[in-house]
Structure 1
Amino acid sequence: LLRFINNTVENKGRLEINYKGEWGTICNRGFHHVDAAVACRQLGYCSGRTIPSNMVDNGQGTIWFDNVECSGSEHKLINCSFSLDLTSHCSHSYDVGVHCYLSCPAEEDEGHLRLITGSASNKGRLEINYKGEWGTICAFSFGDDDAAVACKQLGYCSGKRIASYDVDYGNGNIWLVNMHCSGSENRLINCTYSIDISHCQHQYDVGVHCFLSCPAEEDEGHLRLITSSASNKGRLEINYKGEWGTICAHSFHHVDAAVACKQLGYCFGQSIPSNYVDDGNGTIWLVNIHCSGSENKLINCTYSIDTSHCPHQYDVGVHCYLSCPAEEDEGHLRLITGSASNKGRLEINYKGEWGTICALAFIMLMQQ
């Protein structure tokens, strides 16, 4: 006879066997998913898997079996081969734990997905219904290709993964790990994966951001400036996959700002420090943008969508030039004077705007 010693749910816990008239535990050494499946079928479930010993309470008393080996065809665990030699120092910290499946649906009915969302309905923690129960997916090896398959299954055009710390932790089952999709699958469950989640905790739950739209290349990447006092400088935002979001300033340089400003209808521009613009909110879309300067749209430059290490305090700011006069027409000066007309603050007209000149290095030049 077999029984579960469980806490919160009836279908998983420490496995115990009644042998020679006494209940006792089983050592987990050599105990695999095929052995758990035999045990679960004996208990009336359709199948099951092992779970780590540290996920069940330690037993007490007798440890009966070690090195259980089943072929998978047995009706009872006692029909599998096993050893009674427990002199090999097996303790209750190695008691077998099993998770028996509530259902074993046909392949086409397995693997429904859902998003557990916060402020936006198209991004959040990804959960899968596997063997009759909802659970999370471990983020180890989970990439953008996998997220795209998941999002398409959910009815979106595509998507990307987001950092686990950007979603709320799940609870209960962690079902799958080491997902690998080619991108051609129509369901996430058709990708390769492992069910050995022994080294994964809920702090590594998969998060995904599904795209609201996937426009043609020529319609992607509209830009806008979120400005304050001046209409030609501020935080740069891009419309990507149907949503407005910011751009991370890491590796964003003047040549990139110039491309952005030209796309916005200005003649040229420069990047400005992130602390000169208000922090954005919501999605940070792009990072590590590299433009040659010849592009007519910022989206035509190279970039990465892995913005997991970039917070909004590093949002890109740009200052677009109001005009780009010929060299001989550039650089008019004026004095902003007080009591005397021949001394005061020096200002220069540059790129169509009046501004000041920083005294650093200017003083040294004057002293030469």
Structure 2
Amino acid sequence: IISPDSVRLENGTSLCSGRLEVKSNQSTQTWSSVCQQDFDQQDAEVVCRELGCGAPSVLQGVLYGDVEPPMRTTEFQCGGHESALLDCRSSGSDRTTCSPGKPVGLTCSEPVRLVGGASRCAGTLEVKHNGEWRPVVYSDWTLKTSAAACRELDCGSAVSVGEREESSYRSVWRIRSDCVESGSALRECAAPDFSFSSSSSFLNLTCSGKPSPCWDNLQL
């Protein structure tokens, strides 16, 4: 899964969280942090989409480290439907200063889910990429691997892991268990599986489950 080359999230725990930086000069490969006052929820939705992540769950300054001023950035004016941040309208002028401690810190939800089970914490593991949800093929997963996945899904501990047979020609992902156990996010460990057949064994996972934190109100 390739990250775009015009935006990135730095100092986070995965590709979907960190301090927002935008490439301000393609020729010199210069990156700039974004002022918190120049960014809102619609802008965040566009960034998360561009990174291939889920919806924004936290939008907050100084969450992933401070930066030294000045920060040079424009005020983004996204409608929320754009596919890339640089496609959004902007203020047209660069801000040359930004209050210390006010860079945008953004956390997008990971594009992974469990479907078809009795709750959101049980079922077939799926990963989203390019707008399409694909199941994960069953391989060498253990309860140790499953425990890491359950934590990422905010679903407590692992209860069981198994396979589910399906007659299908669906595109699928293969996720390396050693990559997940090393602490990497599920989406970072996913690779396309090109071994198409009329029957597939999908990864079925059951976690103990626990309430998810509520991020109804995004805070700046």
Bigger CA radius of gyration: 1
Question: Which category describes the TM-score, using the shorter chain as reference length?
Answer: 0.3 to 0.5
User: Which TM-score applies when normalising by structure 2?
Assistant: 0.47
> Which of 1 and 2 has higher RCO (CA within 8 Å, sep 6+)?
2
User: Which TM-score applies when normalising by structure 1?
Assistant: 0.30
